[in-house]
A and B are shown apart, each in its own frame.
Chain A
């Protein structure tokens, strides 16, 4: 490992700043173009529906970033999306495609909602971290199970994690309609409402809850973990070639379970904030689709935790503006899902473009 690192440093020193920038630019320019292509295809789709793509963009701008209120709405939605995207991006470093974050969000939320009752009398300084911890443990166990099944049994983690997510939602329905149901919740079965002290408030000077800050911290910490620690280095090696990693003596099993569990813990934390900051109780609203949007965000960010920050802000904006777009343009709410689908397709198609343009590869020009 030491040899590899010194080699990397050596090559970094020998190449100029311009070359480094050219190399880095590929990972920014191609996804940006893909995003644009997805938007253009969606614009053409709108034209076939007799709607104007430009008024769509205008209402997205208004609904997502046009006023203080819309910024609040966008940022509140960005918080769970940041954490849901980490649930995809962290396992992706090991070459795993985990798509069951929705289940970890839901069960993390249920764990927080269920424990809030017994902890109602405890001082919030102690109770809130305990609730968050419980949500993270449950979420981590749920996604970590997909990783463990992958490592020990060779079960495909994509299918397993989505199945676990369906099971999680059924479990949530069972718990909030049965054992954990607050008898006072008539129309929408829920757990007992949280006491005021256990409600997480807003960030100072903003109408956005603390989850946003924790989401940002999560992304930064994940970036450091992946890019600047030996665990992250090991994970990247194992992601590229499992056999090589095992020959090197890397603890592949611990890495697989650790990274999937950490991703799940972030998703569980998202559920904690949804319950303590938004809903004030755990119910079916927890399955709001953040887990699925998080998949798209992680792919758009190419599984780079820092890139998740701007991408989540963008997709949270689409989400936040969907109500306004619906009302003003008379479009079904599914229009946002169609848009997400087109963008997702475009970003996957763009994978084929990497390495094809010499402008991003200065070493080829030199030859």
Chain B
């Protein structure tokens, strides 16, 4: 297992190098640069622009520019955000806790909903209950997040006044106090609900289909022949087998935990990684944008690795070495 992990981690290095080249090239291909995002190019002295370009290293050959960026990057120097004028690293670290909270809560919501609905549907396929669940799921899947989020805000925040409209915490609350954490939780619930409900459909239907599939297997007949109650057969024998393919989803979810949800976060003005990402695009904050893209790529690779390692844990037939 350890050997396998190390092997896989080493395998990600060439992948990351390739990704970094793509990210860098894409940033360079986009019109404009950080400087033109900061100043008004039409109303600025061309000599000043030229001077700044030279100073910022924009006139160097591209490979040199790439090399400068990547050597800093691997040492943890993600550059300075042109918008916030501070280290990109600090900005990202500031947003990560919010996004992590949102991700974890929404994932918990997804899991609770999906397991409840999937296990119900899988045990009673083609019944009214199963069809109703499938209907609800597909509606949740089909509604775009920007519609769901706006409707949720309108209904729960504006009309019922149950949840705040946006932000991640009430202002004027002392940081670290009990009220502070309650307020954080209060703010995260609505976006987490929207996010969690949207992710439920794939989990539910996948679990349902796998349970139906497994309920026809020979080992179920054996368990019945042993006098095992049908409830235990579903909740232990079948479920334990049906969890295995769900691990694949978990890999994707891991990246989403920190990667954030761009649309949902932006609509709820929830200061997380997703909102920062969109923000950095619109303000041409390339150092931030590139750092975030690299981070997401790394998380995706890490998520896949975690999923593969988890396969070895949940399925005794898979031995990693």
Q: Do chains A and B stick together as partners?
A: no
Chain A residues at the B interface, C-beta cutoff of 8 Å: none
Chain B residues at the A interface, C-beta cutoff of 8 Å: none
